């Protein structure tokens, strides 16, 4: 398994719609950050499905080190 690449050391603020599933890039290689574009092939890493609970702004992890899945947990502050 390959380690993820840090896409950026801050979260991605994205407008999401309640009930919609978004596929967060966990490998850091996607050209469509913070979402998967298939660049993970061969890395052993897979995108993470995140279904928005409410409409509004969500903060997706950019450092790829969040311990809470697709959403930022502040881990980037310690990198």
Separation of alpha carbons 8 and 45, rounded Å: 18
Residue pLDDT tens, the chain, 79 long: 689 999 999 999 999 999 999 999 999 999 999 999 999 999 999 999 999 999 999 999 999 999 989 999 999 999 8
Spatial CB neighbours of 41, under 8 Å, sequence gap ≥ 6: none
Q: Tell me the pTM.
A: 0.93
Q: Scanning the structure block, which residue is given the tokens 């997706």? A: 60
Q: Supply the DSSP string of 39-75, one letter for each residue.
A: TTTTSS---EEEE-SSSEEEEE-SSS--TTTTB--SG
pLDDT of residue 2: 85
Residue of 64, 1, 57, 69 whose CA lies nearest to 30: 64
């Amino acid at each position: 398994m390959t380690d993820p690449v840090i896409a950026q050391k801050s979260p991605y603020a994205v407008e999401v719609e309640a009930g919609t599933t978004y596929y967060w890039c966990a490998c850091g290689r996607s050209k469509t950050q913070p979402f998967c574009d298939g660049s993970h092939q061969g890395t052993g890493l897979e995108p993470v499905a995140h279904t928005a609970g409410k409409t509004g702004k969500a903060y997706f992890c950019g450092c790829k080190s969040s311990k809470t899945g697709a959403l930022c947990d502040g881990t980037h502050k310690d990198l």
